[in-house]
Amino acid sequence: MGRRDFAILLLMAKLGLRADEVATHTLDDIDWLATINYTLNH
């Protein structure tokens, strides 16, 4: 399994996203500051 596939599965598992929701996300949909804060605090 590659990094991309792992990231997709992680998104689906952690956030309860469905496959179509993951497929339609773009980089602009990500709140990068919130993601960094969450990563550093967990």
pLDDT band for position 40 (cuts 50, 70, 90): low
Q: Is 42 helix (H, G, I), strand (E, B) or coil?
A: coil
pLDDT in tens, 6-26: 988 987 898 888 888 888 888
Residue 37 in this model has a pLDDT that exceeds 80: no
The three-point CA angle 28-34-37 to 5° equals 140
- Does pLDDT of 36 surpass 80? no
CA separation for the pair 42, 38 (Å, rounded): 6
The band of 33, judged by pLDDT with boundaries at 50, 70 and 90, is confident
25 three-state secondary structure: coil
- Is the distance from CB of 41 to CB of 27 less than 8 angstroms? no
